[in-house]
Amino acid sequence: MIPIRDENPSSTIPLVTIGLIAVNMAVFFYEVSLGSKVEQFIRVMGVTPYNIHHLGLPAYPTLFTSMFLHGGWEHVLGNMLYLWIFGDNIEDFLGKIRFIIFYLVCGLAASAAHILTQANSQIPTIGASGAISGILGGYILLYPKARVLTVIPLGYFMRLVRLPAVGVLGFWIVIQLFSGIASLPGAGERGGVAWFAHIGGFVAGLALIRLFGGRRRPRRPPNVR
């Protein structure tokens, strides 16, 4: 299933969401400009579990820099699509400053989950997926019935359907869970996907969205049934 947009308009302009997308794309274009040097750049700026465990403090900045790096067009565009669809409502609920903190904390939780399951890995991990997974966790808790326009591939055909967010995002996290379990031992490295980073970010989003939102109540989307 590929989400296209949600039918859950926000009440404010999502400046932080737009800014995060702009920063991620700017960094990606910089990566592209590096040509053959990009692998070394990723090795230095990506988060490597082995380095976190053995180098300690000098490697900690990569916990943040890795969130803004991507491994290709499909990687960055897929992440930015999910951030654009679901980020605005979480920003609307939390407010801009708390949304930034929430995003970064979920990203750190995602990295922690990956590092714990891949303590000796010397492969750098990159991408905004962990932080965005936190947004998905928050969204499924706040707006489970919000309608999401979704593409469902059916062989050579594509079908557009409107599904509740709990179905779309619930299906997504189930895939992450099964893929993560199936990849043990070596979780997160087979197929080049850090499955447990996605799971860790999602769980962090579920756990923290209410805490960060305080007593705020989410505005009900108009299409709730």
Measured CA to CA, the distance from residue 137 to residue 45 in angstroms comes to: 26
> Does 224 fall in a domain?
no
pLDDT band at 168 (very low <50, low <70, confident <90, very high): very high
> Does 219 fall in a domain?
no
Least confident of 108-117, 178-187, 212-221: 178-187
> Does 73 fall in a domain?
yes
Measured CA to CA, the distance from residue 89 to residue 16 in angstroms comes to: 11
Q: Are 197 and 113 in contact (CB under 8 A)?
A: yes
pLDDT band at 200 (very low <50, low <70, confident <90, very high): very high
Retrieve residue 75's tokens.
């990687």
Measured CA to CA, the distance from residue 28 to residue 221 in angstroms comes to: 33
> Does 223 fall in a domain?
no
> Does 195 fall in a domain?
yes
3-class DSSP state of 10: coil
What is this structure's pTM?
Answer: 0.90
**CATH number, domain at 7?**
1.20.1540.10
Give the structural domain span for 169.
2-213
Measured CA to CA, the distance from residue 41 to residue 38 in angstroms comes to: 5
> Does 218 fall in a domain?
no
Retrieve residue 51's tokens.
């380095």
Chain position carrying tokens 């290709």: 72
> Does 225 fall in a domain?
no
Number of independent structural domains in the chain: 1
> Does 18 fall in a domain?
yes
